[in-house]
Amino acid sequence: MTGFEFAADPDRVIHEPARLKIMSVLSAAESADFIYLMGETGLTRGNLSVQLTRLKEAGYIKIAKEFVGNSPRTTASMTPEGKKAFDEYRTYLASLLKATS
Amino acid sequence: MNEIERTQQRTRSYWFSDGIAELVGGIAMALVGFLMVASERTGVDMLATMALLAMILLFPASAQLVRLMKDRITHTRTGYVKYPRPTMSKRRKIIILSLLISVASAVFVALWGGEYTLDGGVGKVFFVGAGTGMAVAFAVRAVRLRLPRLFASAVVLAAMTTASGFADFGFVEGMGLLLAVLGSTSVITGGVTLAIYISRHPKAPLETL
């Protein structure tokens, strides 16, 4: 026991602030659309799209496209793997705080 | 509360950010309430039938109207959030808790109400219990969602329940009055919230695939 177990690498996919914000939103909802995520994260369309793709590639979120009337709607939702990774990341943050306070 | 929890909290209370549910639900409640009071006051049977019909038809219709208005107003401005359906165990807990508070309040009024319960008979005990239960439910929701305006409904309901307990109301008239006042309060808070929401959020450009 070194007492520095918290120093084990955090999940780099979630560790990035914009992606952490996206995961925080999706952890509180079944799904959220592109406009809502843009408003919450403050990211531009292009940047949000990149971050969502990164999370999708990691298997943490699913992206669905649908039409509401004539308007397209892109929604993102968290996968079970994403939920597990998010919970583990929060546990990591808590242990980090505990070890450094 | 840290930034992750604040984000989750904002997302959970997003449903209430536009005031549409309160506005539409408030109109339905106020209408049913006024019809119940009017039917008792005037003794016109037709009004009682209308109140019953309004209760059966308006509440499901208002849910549809809320969805439609949110699609037109909210989702195009600040986006769409879908919430997980509450689990049966969670629903059961909420229903049981509300019933317990209502029954406890009714029993308290019946046993220790003294003069308070003399007018209106047993009916009063029920609507005082129901009013207290609803007020507590609103207060709990206000705390959980951190929405101070829901406290306004809780306070108005509690005050009206207490005040109407001293008057000569039966169950139908008492419940009607509570629904009318709660509905009117919701229309005001919901209407003001919607006006502020629309002024703060211009319509966003349509998403392109």
Q: What is the CATH number of the domain that holds A20?
A: 1.10.10.10
Give the total number of structural domains in chain A. 1
| Whole-angstrom distance, CA of residue B104 vs CA of residue B110 | 10
Q: Are B169 and B181 in contact (CB under 8 A)?
A: no
Residue at B40 is within a domain: yes
Percent of chain B at pLDDT > 70 equals 89
Sign of the CA dihedral A65, A66, A67, A71? Answer: negative
Q: Mean pLDDT, chain A, as a whole number?
A: 89
Residue A56 sits in which domain range?
Answer: 15-96
φ, ψ for residue B38 (rounded to 5)?
-65, -40
- Which of residues B198 and B162 earns the better pLDDT score? B198
Residue B189's domain comprises: 11-200
Name the token pair of A49.
């799209």
A81-95, B116-130, B144-158, range with the lowest pLDDT: B116-130
Place of tokens 């939920």: A83
Buried b (16+ CB within 10 A) or exposed e, A32-71: bbbbbbbbbbebeeeebeebbebbeebebbeeeeeeeeee
Return the SS3 of B99: helix
- Residue A69 gets the label, from left (phi > 0), alpha (psi -120 to 50) or beta, of left
Region B21-35: what's the mean pLDDT?
Answer: 93
Residue B115's pLDDT band, with cuts at 50, 70 and 90, is low
Structural domains in chain B (count) = 1
- Whether A7 is in a domain gets the answer no
Write the Ramachandran bin of B79: left for phi over 0, alpha for psi from -120 to 50, otherwise beta: left
> Residue A57: is its pLDDT beyond 90?
yes
Contacts of B80 in chain A (CB under 8 A): 32-33, 35-36, 73, 75
Assigned domain for B4 exists: no
DSSP letter, residue A77:
E
In a domain, A4, yes or no: no
Identify whether B190 is part of a domain.
yes
The answer as to whether B205 is a domain residue is: no
Q: Does B4 touch chain A (CB under 8 A)?
A: yes
Instruction: Tell whether A3 is covered by a domain.
Output: no
Query: Is position B207 within any domain?
Result: no
Query: Residues B98-106: what's their mean pLDDT?
Result: 77
Q: Is residue B125 part of a domain?
A: yes
B109 touches B129 (CB < 8 A): yes
Q: Which of residues 20-79 of A touch B (CB under 8 A)?
A: 20-21, 24-25, 27-40, 65, 68-69, 71-75
Enumerate residues 83 to 102 of chain B having a beta carbon within 8 A of any beta carbon in chain A: 83-84
> Where does the pLDDT of residue A7 fall: very low under 50, low under 70, confident under 90, or very high at 90 and above?
low
Please check whether residue A6 lies inside any domain of the structure. no
Whether B160 maps to a domain, the answer reads: yes
Is B208 within a domain? no
Within-domain flag for A76: yes
- Of all residues in chain A, the one with the smallest CA distance to B74 is A36
d(CA B68, CA B62): 10
Q: Are B41 and B167 in contact (CB under 8 A)?
A: no
